[in-house]
Structures are given as C-alpha cells and as structure tokens.
Amino acid sequence: MSIELTSWCAALAAAAVAVFLTQPATANEQAENPMVITITTAPTSKMRYPTVGDWQFEPDGSLHITVAKMPNRHYEFLVALHEIVEAMLCKQSGVAQHTVDNFDMSYERHRKSNDNSEPGDARGAPYHRQHVIASVTERLAAELLKVDWNRYNDAVEAPPR
C-alpha cells in the first residue's frame, strides 16, 4: 500500500470515528454524571474469558476497560483504545453489552486450537462493524506511536498469563 493511500485511509478512518463518537448525547445522557472511563491491567488468568481486552458498562454508566498485562505500555494502550471505541460505538448503535459478551464467550468455547482470530472479526458477530472501526482506529494509533504492528499482533495473540 502506498504512503498516499495509507494516509488517505487513515484520514478516512479518523473521520468515520469522529462522526460516530461525536453524535450528540441524548437528553438523558446529558443529565447523568460525567463520563468516567477506568482502565486497568490484569493477568489474562483474571480476565472474564480468554481475551486481551474487555469492556463493561457499570450500572452508573461508567465504562470499565480491563486489558491483559503486556510487555509494553503502548500495547496496553492500543488494546484499551480499541475497547473504548468498540464499547462506545456499540452503545451508540444499540448493541447491548450482554449480546457482545454472549457472542464472545460462545466464540471462545468453540474456538479451534490453531485459530487466533478475534470474535469481532467474524461476519456473524453482532458488533462486527463496531469492532472493525475500533481495529482501524487501533491500527492508526499504532502507526502514530511507531509500534511495530507484527510484534504487537504477536503479543496480542499470546499475552503473558
């Protein structure tokens, strides 16, 4: 891919994310408490299911992101960024957290041993579009942080336990 095409794709992705994330809040959301997003790292053994990133909206509306401990803070940031974008886009489009959780957990239960794909990449994922946009955002941020995508991807596929 040429640099011009890469830059054009990055600009398009950034514009798409901006459109989705800057939709006006509903009157109900504006009346709520300020947005709170908490990001924590944990060993993968402490995650709700085999994953490197997990998002949950709390009853008070805050968003909690759990990221697997990784050998590089930039890697943890990229996973967290992906989760934030995915969660906010799911919320915006009405894809419920329990729908995503149920799909992900079922996907992981039926995963073949040599399969390193992400549940959200599956065409049948109820949040496929939101996941793809989050992945593009993650990839753009990796480029801007000068993170080697192949090394990062290796770390995501085999995080420390």
How far apart are the C-alpha atoms of 85 and 89, rounded to whole Å?
A: 6
Tell me: pLDDT of 32 over 90.
no
* 57 secondary structure, DSSP code: E
- Compute CA 153 distance to the chain's CA centroid, rounded to the nearest angstrom: 14
Could you tell me what percent of the chain has a pLDDT over 70?
A: 78
User: Is a pLDDT exceeding 60 seen at residue 8?
Assistant: no
Torsion of CA 127, 153, 155, 58, to 10 degrees: -20
CA–CA gap between residue 74 and residue 41 (Å, rounded): 12
Parse the chain into domains and list their residue ranges: 3-24+34-157
pLDDT in tens, 10-31: 555 555 555 545 455 555 555 5
What would the pLDDT profile of 116-158 be if each residue is shown by its tens digit? 788 999 989 999 999 999 999 999 999 999 999 999 999 998 8
The answer for residues whose C-beta is within 8 angstroms of residue 142's C-beta and 6 or more apart is 74, 78, 149, 152
Q: Write down the pLDDT at residue 111.
A: 84
What is the pLDDT at residue 2? 43
- pLDDT score recorded for residue 123: 85
Give the per-residue pLDDT at 35.
84
Residue 5: pLDDT band with limits 50, 70, 90: very low
- 154's CB contacts (< 8 A; 6+ apart) are none
Residues 104, 102: Cα–Cα separation, whole Å: 6
What secondary structure letter does DSSP report for 43?
-
The mean predicted confidence, pLDDT, of the chain is: 84
* pLDDT tens by residue, 80-111: 999 999 999 999 999 999 999 999 999 988 88
